[in-house]
Amino acid sequence: MCAIDLDVVNEIVGQKGRTADHAIPILQEVQKRLRYVPREALARIADLTEMTESQLFGVATFYSQFRLEPVGDTIIKVCHGTACHVGGAKGLTEALENRLGVKSGETTADKKFTLTSVACVGCCSLAPVIMVADDRTYGRLDMKKAVSIVDGLEGVSSAESG
């Protein structure tokens, strides 16, 4: 297991503040820097602030933006909002699960990709939609197009595509 750099947490708390109203900005910055919010980070934040670890855990689990498990280098999100659901999101998820060899919510063994499902990402007119790495949105997909997008990502193994 990689050691988690908790010095980053000290630095963030120093910048953001130590009271309960700073919980969300602290957690957002921790996630930005560490790519998820490890339990060890919650414990460290609790040591440094007025908040308890269980209060912080409550905030981190209440808001869906926070990830409590490590993720791959690239997160592939399949929108399962209403429009995308109607447009075939379930099939996209199944096709990508087969392509990557993981279930939705899991990370590939080489830690390069995490496949996940999300609620509406705000571009329903393009449904069904996937989002790659938080900033690239692909719409009007079918299973074949979704798989070809993943095929084109750097670092994706070609072993399962045959």
Based on the shown chain and the rule CB under 6 A, indicate whether residue 124 belongs to the binding site for ligand FES: yes
Residue 121 C-beta: closest distance to ligand FES, Å: 5
| For ligand FES, the closer CB: 32 or 140 | 140
- 156 belongs to the binding site for ligand FES (CB under 6 A): no
* 12, 75, 121, 147: which one binds ligand FES (CB under 6 A): 121
Q: CB of 115: closest distance to ligand FES in angstroms?
A: 16
User: Phi-psi category of 133—alpha, beta or left, where left has phi over 0 and alpha has psi -120 to 50?
Assistant: left
Q: Is 72 in the site for ligand FES (CB under 6 A)?
A: no
Count Cα neighbours of 75 within 13 Å in the Cβ-side half-sphere: 16
- In the complex, the smallest distance separating the C-beta of residue 130 from ligand FES, rounded to whole angstroms, is 9
38 binds ligand FES (CB under 6 A): no
By CB under 6 A, residue 75 contacts ligand FES: no
Q: Is 81 a binder of ligand FES (CB under 6 A)? A: yes
Distance, in Å, from the CA atom of 149 to the CA atom of 132, rounded to the nearest integer, reads: 9
Residues 6+ apart with CB under 8 A from 122: none
Q: Stretches 26-34, 47-55, 64-72, 74-82: which one binds ligand FES (CB under 6 A)?
A: 74-82
Q: Which residues bind ligand FES (CB under 6 A)?
A: 79, 81-84, 120-124, 127, 129
